[in-house]
Amino acid sequence: MPVGQCKLCLQQKELQESHLLPAAVYRLCRHETEEISDPITIRHDSKNKSFRVFQTSRQITGPVLCSDCEQLLNTQGESWVLPVLSSLEGFPLYEMLAQGEPEFPSESEELTAYYAEKLPAIRTDRLVHFGAAIFWKAAAHNWQTGHGYVRLYLGKYAAGLRKFVLGERFPEHLYLMVTIVPPKYPTISAFVPYESKIKGFYHYSFYVPGIEFRLSVGREVPDYLRACCIVTNPQRPIFLGKHTAEFIGSKFKEALETGRTPLKLEGRLSRMRGKKKA
């Protein structure tokens, strides 16, 4: 293993091959018994302004953290969050949420809120650390994808987020929103952190099976987003909505209809569609 400065504790140590998204997320997105076992990936080619659809077992990794800091991320967030994500066997976090009553019921399922403060089974501290750690990792390193790299820009806020991951207080002017997708919609997929362009402040998002994490950053974050923060709002709101599943579904549909898909993969997808119709 290479020796270098750990991006989290800033000490010179042996560096692990760290994951941007935990390895368990990739395992959840695999289906060992189906013809298509490796996850299907879509990538937007900005140069050609088109989508590319392909299968890959490649995971986004890099020499970023020492073993002690890897263990910190595991004990403070991953060890609780990963087992409650959506899988083919069920969705434990949704089941915990469903034990409560929505604060703002929505018949259209667009978006409703639950107060996790009333649901002690949900470890909001673990959810917060998990989400914050992935956003911080995405800003701390150029994560090579094979076709470029992933890196967020957090500017002066990156240092405060790093300190929070190490155990200090959550930094000012950062607001974290957690949204769960109802299991009646397709939930088993993932996307890495990316930036949305919003005037006046930064807004980032990533998704792991069943949960979208959004981070709004800056002094000009509007009040309605501040109220959605699972950290600063003492009621610890968690949202339930179908929007994320619809967004992912629309992107896959667009990519499959307009993008470049290898003939072998097209054949596999066609056979799977035929099995479902039968």
Q: Cα(226)–Cα(63) distance, rounded to whole angstroms?
A: 34
Task: Tell me the angle at which helices 124-140 and 157-166 cross, rounded to the nearest 10 degrees.
Answer: 130
Q: What pTM value is reported for the model?
A: 0.87
CB atoms closer than 10 angstroms to residue 134 = 27
d(CA 88, CA 28): 8
Q: Which of 132, 153, 157 is nearest to 141 (CA)?
A: 153
pLDDT, tens digit (0-9, with 9 covering 90-100), for 204-260: 999 999 999 999 999 999 999 999 999 999 999 999 998 888 887 777 677 767 767
Q: What is the pLDDT of residues 108-117, one digit of tens each?
A: 567 899 999 9
- Tell me: the pLDDT tens digits for 161-175? 999 999 999 999 999
